[in-house]
Structures are given as C-alpha cells and as structure tokens.
Amino acid sequence: MDIKKIISQMTLEEKLSMLGGRDGWHFYGVERLGIPDVRVCDGPHGVRVHREKAEEYDPATNFPTASALASTFNEDLLRLTGETIGKECRHYGIQVLLGPGVNGKRSPLAGRNFEYYSEDPYLSGKMAAAFINGVQSQKVGTSLKHYIANEQENSRLFISSKVDERTLHELYLTPFEMAIKEANPWTIMGSYNRINGVYGCENEHTLMNILKGQLKYDGLVVSDWGAVNDKIESHKHGLDIQMPGPVEITERLRQAVLSSEITMANLDDHVERCLRLNERVFKQGQTIDIDLDKNHKIAQEVARESIVLLKNDKILPLKKNSKVALIGRFADDQVRYNGGGSSWMKAYKIERPLEAISSRAKVIYAAAYDQEKTTPKLTQAALSAAANSKTVVFFTGTTASMESEGFDRSSINLPKQHLELLKKIHKVNPNIVVVLNNGAALDLREVLPYAKAVVEAWLLGSAAGEPIAEILFGEVNPSGKLSETFPLQLEHTPAYGNFPGLGDEIVYTEGLLTGYRHYDFRKLEVMAPFGFGLSYTSFKLSKPRLSKTVIEHDETVDIRFDVTNIGKREGSEVVQLYVKDKVSYLLRPEKELRGFKKVHLKVGETKTVTMTLGQRDFAYYVPHLGRFVVESGEFDLIIGTSSRDITSITPIQVNSPDKVRPHLTLEYPYTQWIRYPHEKTQVEKLIEMTHKPQWWEAEPPLSRWLNNLKHELNWSEEKLSEIKKMLMEEE
C-alpha cells in the first residue's frame, strides 16, 4: 500500500471521515480508493463477536482474566493465548481486538482490577507484550488500554487523576512503554479520565509529548467509547479516531482544518496512522477455520498455570474416590469465570467444577447459596453434606455484582453469609479446602483459620473445571504465583482513605509506593506477598554467579543460578529477580522486580537460569532531568520465590556518567553546600582565598575560578557581582 499516494488522492471530506467510527464496531475505510473498513470488537480474555446483522453473539474461547493470566508468570503461555484469540478473530472477521489492559492497581477496590495484569509495572509490561505479539502474529491488531492513569471506575468520565511526573513514568507509563518497545500494539485506547486536569483523549503532554514524541509510537490512538470531551482539542493534541460512530463531520471540525487550527500536516498524520493500521491487518476474505474444542484445551492449559495454592496443611492433594462434600453453587450452575462489563463474552463451552470433581471422588453436593445469600434450608443441607464426608471443598468468592466495569468494589471481603456458612461447616468438619473465585485481592482473615487449604482459582475462564480438579487431586502440581499482594486488611492498602476520592479529582498521594513497594517500605505484614505460591514439591536455588561485579555505562550483566527440584513430585518454580538501590538521591522503593522465569523440573533435576540486566534496570526517573537515569553506586541483586521469600542478596557496582543531584545555587543554605564533597571543596577553597591579603586584585586565578563556578552553578552576572561585592566587604 502506497500510503502517501493514497493520502494525496483523498478529498478533505474523506480525510475528515476517518477521524471517527462508521458505527460502534468499524473504523472508516475509503471505499472509492479500495480501502475497506476495519472491524473491531471487545475481548481482552476472548473475542466478543457481535453478529453483523443481529443483536446476538458468536461463541468463542473464554480465557482466564488478566490477574489470573499474570499469575502464570509464563510469557510463552501468554503469547499462545494471544495467538489463539487472534485466530478466533480471523475466523470471525475481526481485525482489531480491544485489549489488553495494563492499568495499575492503586487499590484492590478498583472494579476492573480483574482486567489488569498486576500491581507491578514490569510484570504487566512483559505479560502485555507477550499477549500482543501473539495476537498480532495473526495479522490482527490489539488496542492497549486505557491510556493513562485510569485506576478507578467511580466518576471515571470526568475524574482527574493528579499524579506527579515521576510516578507517572515509573509506574503507570512503564507497561505501556514496554509493550510499545517489545510488541508495538497497532492501536492504543485513550482513557475517559483527565490526567492532571486535562482529558486523556485531548492531553497534549501524554499523547503528543510522551506517546508519539518520546516513545515514537507509530500506531493510531482511538478513544474509549464515548471518551471524547472536545473533538477539536482531541484531534489537535493526538487523538486519531473518535469512537463509537457514526461520528458526524461537523462544520466546526471542517472549519478547524480550513483555518489551520488543525493543520493539514496534523490531519494527514491522523489519516496516515489509520491507513497504516489498514495495511497491517488481514483483509476481508482472509478468514480461517478454527477448532474450538482444541482452543478450549489451550484455555485449560492456561488455567492450570494460573491457579495459586495459598495454604496447604497436608490436606492436598486429595485422594481419588474419597468422600467429598462439594459445597457452593460457584462449583455448579453459578460458576464464576469472568468479570462484568466489556470483557463479558459468549463462551463456547463452560466447565463445571462439580462435574470434574465428581469424576474423581464420591461427591455429596450442596448448593449452599444463591450468589451471596443462603437460607436455613440450604445451610442445613450443606452441614449435612460436610458431616457425612471426609473432606469439604467449599467454593466461595466474589459475585457478579461485586467485580465489574462501571463501579468499584465496596470492600475486599467475601460475602458475609458465605463466611458465616464456612464457620458453621468447620464445627462439623474441620477438613476444609476453600476454593476462591475472584478477580483481585481479598481479605482472608475469616478464611484462613477455618481452612486447611486455600486455592486461589481467580476468574479462570470457561475451561476451569478440569484444571481445578487436577490441582485438587494432584494430577497437576500448582505453579501459579500471586500477581498482586493480598493484604492483611483493607486499612493497610496504599490508597486507603484516598480511594476513590471525593469530587472531581483524585490525588495519587501514595506516589511510587503501591503494591509490594508499599508493604516493604512500611514494613507491613501481609496475608500473602506478591509472587507467592505453594507447590506439592520443594525447590532449592543456588547462589548466583555474576558475569561481572562492576558494570559501566551501556553494559549488561548476566546473573546465573541453579534451580533444583529437591521434592518428590515434578513441578514448576517461578524465580524472581529484584533490584535494590542501596543509596539514592531521591527516594526509591526497597526493591523492584526486574526479571522472572518459570522453570519446570522433574524430581531431582537441576536447571540453570540466566537473567540479563541492563542500565535501564538500575535507572529511575528524575523529574528535573526529564528522563530515566542511573545513579552510580552499589545495588543489591535480590533473588527469591516471592517478594518476601528471598534466597540470596548479591551486591554489584554500577557506574554511570549521569549526574542526578542538581547543582546548588545561592538559594541553598551553607549547610547544604558543605554536605556534598564537590561543593564543600569549592566553599573551602573560597574561604581560604578570602583570607589572603588583597586577595581579589592579587589573585587573578580566583576571578577565573569564580567565573567557572558561575557557569557550573548557572549563576547570572548579577549573582556573580553580588558574591564579589559580598566577599570584598568581608575582606
């Protein structure tokens, strides 16, 4: 496609039409020039296919939600997920999938946390990049969302996220930046909210300066559906397409171009990005056949690795053919497999854990509740089942009305009547395994004392029944790790008391200290740390071996260590590498994730893991320099199996030409000048010279020295004269 030539042949009306959608699910093409429309659809966890001529949906594979996907810590599996969804898009003629989401997790109360990968920006970036590469390998575009600082649902259409520049770059931009550099999503979706007072879809700083400027993003920016506040301001400042359509070409828009308020170069850039997307995606008629049963098995594979074993007091794995009381409708006709909102889809096949567990054990089933509520009759049936069984498997979690797009959670507690029932069951049978179905962190204080095992099964998609049963009966060894911290209580969370905020502004007062960064810095105990997950076997990690102990600017270092399965079962371990800056000018978190690897090992097997770190892995964003820099000094390389389960700490010296601390000026007090070696030396030299007779006339070198100091400290001529006069008076 000769994009420049096509643009030269387009009329003004054709160019303007491309700035908006044809309808709710199509971007405009140029029919006269043979450029077809582009069809898009929802579905970060599977394609939601709107039939073209009916208000119906076609079936597709429903994968686990993002928080579960990230708990696999397996980039290869995320790419496979993306490839599979991409193929289903091809089958149904979908050319852009609206996802994935990489927003942060300031609070576990955020309603769409289940749609976002992790509290850690590095893990989110890696998972997103792998997924995007998978989808786009099928010539189907993705739409990375929601750009940016869209961390709550409450008042999302007008709330202003007030976030400082350093926090914005280090936490909330990082996953977008990683995904752009490692996968280049073909579209990015602008968010509803305002960022520091300016709407996300018309924010020149975030769209033009950062996204299209600093990050050199060459794809197109599409608004979230209904997120455009002002059409002219949006197209002036970086938005390419307004959705949904049909979007009218207003006279105001036409006049904005004719008067050069929106320049022709700006308009042509928007059109070029639209045509570039059209060039990248598959064309109509290039659909493929799919095998939904095969794809369902892939979803099972992903679900297996998403499950996290949080507690096990020697009750799991269960013995086959044992007598099991299976309690809770989440295991049957109310199976919880997805959150609400735009990620809802029509699943091809929905597995029920009841069926999978019943094929392995003698099950007495009790419905126990209807969503959140139980009754005396249901309670009595559940207690009877528990009393007449060896083991109880109790399904609980959040309900459909608790986690969804459109609203935030009111608490992180499980339904009150579920907890009351659990305590009653414990009195008749303490051998309880709790299976959790939820999309984000929970308060488990009223669960752990009453359960001998706790299985975090997330919202595992429609292929969850068999994987849950396989984990419970030991056919599969659990290998998932928490993609977010489970706090002891809501009051300990980073944004407590400041989420979702009041009025039309929310201030990110916690700054960099979210997730495990917050709990580490505040020295808070947690229910379960980031990166945590148990196994039915045991692993041992050796001391790391570094390729070098000192690295210079632009060099990398390889960290190698051995992982051995010292237990009695085959299994997988997720090893994690964190970096700690021991001394820094600006405050930094206690440690930050910079690498991970899932390693599968047979009994007694050892494998060597290699991770490589570069300068960016040691860097942080310095606002007064406007970029990421590395501060020379000693760092710790921290290896462990969670953010709290650390096996080794190894120092490394990192040298860099970057100067983080700004030069001092006369506005700084004397105590600041003598605090730092360079300035202290200058002050001492100055003092020494002023004690010499007729020092100013007799010492021409002093004049040269002051002039040098002037340039170094960026003094004005007035400041130089001021200090000369001051020193002369002293003499």
Known catalytic residues?
Answer: 224
Q: Is 241 in a helix, a strand, or coil? A: strand
Q: Are 92 and 49 in contact (CB under 8 A)?
A: yes
Among 119, 59, 70, residue whose Cα is nearest residue 480: 70
Give the type of residue at 17: S
Do you find a cis peptide bond into 100, omega within 30 degrees of 0?
yes
How far apart, in Å, are the Cα atoms of 254 and each of 250, 347, 632? 6, 44, 54
Long-range contacts of 443-447 (CB under 8 A, 24+ apart): 443/411, 443/412, 443/413, 443/414, 443/487, 443/488, 443/489, 443/490, 443/527, 444/310, 444/486, 444/527, 444/528, 445/488, 445/489, 445/527, 446/413, 446/414, 446/419, 446/422, 447/396, 447/414, 447/419, 447/422
Pull the structure tokens for residue 265: 């170069």
Task: Say how far apart CA 28 and CA 576 lie, in whole Å.
Answer: 45
Residue type at 222? V
Edge-to-edge order in the sheet of strand 187-190: 21-23, 26-27, 38-42, 96-98, 141-147, 187-190, 220-223
Question: Cα(373)–Cα(483) distance, rounded to whole angstroms?
Answer: 30
Token pair, residue 267, equals 């308009």
> Could you tell me where the beta strands, DSSP code E, fall in 160-228?
160-162, 187-190, 194-195, 198-199, 220-223
Q: Residue 647 corresponds to which tokens in the numbers above?
A: 């096996």
DSSP 331: G
Q: How far apart are CA 65 and CA 336, in angstroms?
A: 11
Residues with Cβ within 8 Å of 41's Cβ and at least 6 positions away in sequence, in order, are 25, 47, 48, 49, 50, 89, 92, 94, 96, 97, 98
Distance, in Å, from the CA atom of 207 to the CA atom of 185, rounded to the nearest integer, reads 15
* Structure-token pair, residue 612: 């490589």
C-alpha span between 474 and 469 (Å, rounded): 8
Q: What is the largest CA-CA distance in the chain?
A: 103
Is the separation of the CB atoms in 647 and 639 below 8 Å? yes
C-alpha dihedral over 301, 305, 310, 314, to 10 degrees?
70
